[in-house]
Structure 1
Amino acid sequence: MVLFSLVATHTDLDLETVGTLSSGAADVAASVDLPAVTLATCNRLEIYAETPSSSVEAVRESRERLLDAVAEASGLDRETVARSFKTLVEDDAVSHLFEVGAGLDSAVIGEREIAGQVRRSLNEAQSAGTVSGGLTKLFETATRTAKEVGAKTALGSRGRSIVSVALDIAGDMRGDGAAFYRDANVVLIGTGAYAGTTLAQLAEREVPAISVFSGSGRAESFLDERRRFLGERAENVRALSMGELAEAFRNADVIIGCSGGNRQITAAEIRSLAGLEEHDRSLTVIDLALTHDFTPDVADLPGVELITLESVKVAAPEETEDSVDQARAVVAESVQQYLTERRERSADDAIVALRRHTQEVLDEEMERVRKAHGCTAAAEEVEFAMRRIVRKLLHTPTVRARELAVQGRTEDYVAALEAVFGLEVAPREQEGVREKSARRRRAEEFSAAELAQMAAYLQQVPDGGFCRHHKPGEFSIERLPAVAQLRQSA
Structure 2
Amino acid sequence: MQLFACGVNHHTAPVSIRERVAFPADILMKALADATGNGVAREVAILSTCNRTEVYCNTAEPEAVAEWIAGFHGLSAREVKPYLYLLPNDQAVKHAFRVASGLDSMVLGETQILGQMKQAAEKAQEAGTLGLLLNKLFQRTFSVAKEVRTATEIGASTVSMSAAAVTLAERIFPSIAEQSVLFIGAGEMIDLVATHFAAKSPRRLMVVNRTVDRARTLAQKFGGEAAALTSLPELLHEFDIVVTSTASPLPIVGLGMVERALKARKHNPMFMVDLAVPRDIETEVAELQDVFLYTVDDLGEVVRAGHDARNSKVEQAEAIVAAGVNEFMHWLQGRKTVPTLRALRDHGERLRRHELEKAAKRLARGDDPAAVIEALSLGLMNKLLHEPSHALNQAEGGERDELQQWVARLYNLHND
Aligned runs of 1:144-163 on 2, under 5 Å? 144-163=143-162
Match of 1:59 in 2: 61
Q: Does 1:270 align with 2:237?
A: no
**Contact 1:110 1:160 (8 Å CA) reproduced:** no
Structure 2 CA distance for partners of 1:191 and 1:388, relative to 1, 3 Å: farther
Match of 1:88 in 2: 87
1:236 to 209, 223, 230: 223
Q: Which moved more, 1:238-247 or 1:186-195?
A: 238-247
Q: Percent identity?
A: 25
State how far apart, in whole Å, the 1-side matches of 2:195 and 2:350 are: 63
State how far apart, in whole Å, the 1-side matches of 2:234 and 2:101 are: 42
State how far apart, in whole Å, the 2-side matches of 1:363 and 1:255 are: 76
The Cα shift of 1:378 comes to: 1.4
Match of 1:383 in 2: 376
The Cα shift of 1:353 comes to: 3.5
Structure 2 CA distance for partners of 1:388 and 1:240, relative to 1, 3 Å: farther
Equivalent pairs counted in the alignment come to: 373
Match of 1:31 in 2: 34
Match of 1:245 in 2: 232
**Contact 1:112 1:160 (8 Å CA) reproduced:** no
State how far apart, in whole Å, the 2-side matches of 1:237 and 1:135 are: 43
Q: Does 1:359 align with 2:367?
A: no
State the one-letter code of the partner of 2:88.
Answer: V
Q: CA RMSD in A?
A: 3.1
Structure 2 counterpart SS, 1:147: helix
> CA offsets per residue over residues 263-286 of structure 1, 9 Å max, x none?
3423331131x3445435232100
1:324 to 290, 294, 314: 314
The Cα shift of 1:373 comes to: 6.1
> CA offsets per residue over residues 376-429 of structure 1, 9 Å max, x none?
2211233346667899999xxxxxxxxxxxxxxxxxxxxx9xxxxxxxxxxxxx
- Structure 1, unpaired ranges of 5+: 52-57, 228-232, 395-415, 417-490
Q: Does 1:186 align with 2:181?
A: yes
Q: Does 1:299 align with 2:302?
A: no
TM-score w.r.t. the length of structure 1 is 0.68
State how far apart, in whole Å, the 1-side matches of 2:296 and 2:77 are: 26
Q: Does 1:213 align with 2:208?
A: yes
State how far apart, in whole Å, the 1-side matches of 2:31 and 2:194 are: 30
Structure 2 counterpart SS, 1:335: helix
Structure 2 counterpart SS, 1:46: strand
State how far apart, in whole Å, the 1-side matches of 2:215 and 2:145 are: 27
The Cα shift of 1:208 comes to: 6.1
> CA offsets per residue over residues 268-318 of structure 1, 9 Å max, x none?
31131x344543523210011122111233233343211112211233222
TM-score w.r.t. the length of structure 2 is 0.79
**Contact 1:31 1:69 (8 Å CA) reproduced:** no
Match of 1:256 in 2: 243
The Cα shift of 1:121 comes to: 0.9
State the one-letter code of the partner of 1:360.
Answer: R
The Cα shift of 1:347 comes to: 4.2
**Contact 1:208 1:236 (8 Å CA) reproduced:** no
Aligned runs of 1:111-190 on 2, under 5 Å? 111-176=110-175, 180=176, 182-190=177-185
> CA offsets per residue over residues 167-220 of structure 1, 9 Å max, x none?
3222334345xxx2x454221112344334334444455556432222xx2242
State how far apart, in whole Å, the 2-side matches of 1:286 and 1:133 are: 41
State how far apart, in whole Å, the 2-side matches of 1:347 and 1:389 are: 25
The Cα shift of 1:240 comes to: 0.9
**Contact 1:192 1:259 (8 Å CA) reproduced:** yes
Q: Does 1:20 align with 2:20?
A: yes
- Structure 2, unpaired ranges of 5+: 37-41, 388-405, 407-416
